[in-house]
Amino acid sequence: MKRPRKMKTILGASLCLLLVVTSGPNPAFAHKAKHTPEQLKAFEQVFMEQVKVGDLLFHGDEATQKRLGVTLSNTGMACAMCHPFASDTHPYTFPKFQEQVNKFAPLRDMINWCIEKAAEGEKIETDSDAMKALETYIYWSTRGSKLDPGRH
């Protein structure tokens, strides 16, 4: 007689928990709602603003570097001088073991390697606005490519 009561208690508690999890407002499920055209437009604007900032940084714009407090080169080099159209950046092959940095690395580590070694600049915080913008521009430039992480 004792055991069924315990089972009932556990079952009841589980149901309550499930109810709490599924009934309350939870941002984790917000994306399941279909986006309105207005929302999609706003998201696109946010994305393209990042692409624009990344484009300016990638092509060596000094005002944008100053505004974001970064020095991507001390020699006058810009990313685009080696990577026109973001070519040879291969963002879709990351993360992977990257020989230059001798570790398993996401794209951000490779961007910093280029800044320090090729452009002779000062590496930037991996979660900085400048890094997000550079990464966004590189991904946007190679959009449509097939993901192939780990490839060399």
- Judged by CB under 8 A, does residue 83 bind other proteins? yes
Instruction: Report the residue from 56, 57, 111, 138 that binds other proteins according to the rule CB under 8 A.
Output: 56
Stretch that binds other proteins, among 3-11, 38-46, 85-93, 122-130 (CB under 8 A): 85-93
Contacts of 130 (CB under 8 A, 6+ apart): 53, 57, 65, 68, 69, 70, 72, 124
By beta-carbon proximity to other proteins, the closer residue of 13 and 82 is: 82
Could you say whether residue 78 binds other proteins (CB under 8 A)? Answer: yes
Per-residue exposure over 89-105, b if at least 16 CB sit within 10 Å of its own CB, e if not: bbbbbbebebeeeeeeb
Q: How far apart are CA 69 and CA 131, in angstroms?
A: 12
> Is 83 or 96 the residue whose CB approaches other proteins more closely?
83
Contact 87, 104 (CB under 8 A): no
Identify which range of 5-13, 32-40, 52-60, 127-135 contacts other proteins by CB under 8 A: 52-60
The reply to whether 129 sits near other proteins by the rule CB under 8 A is no
Residue 98: strand, helix, or coil:
strand
Listed in sequence order, the residues at least 6 apart from 59 whose beta carbon sits closer than 8 Å to its beta carbon are 78, 79, 80
Per CB under 8 A, the list member of 113, 120, 129, 140 interacting with other proteins is: 120
- 17 scored as a contact of other proteins (CB under 8 A): no
Binding footprint of other proteins on the chain (CB under 8 A):
52, 55-56, 59, 61, 74-78, 80-85, 87-88, 117-118, 120
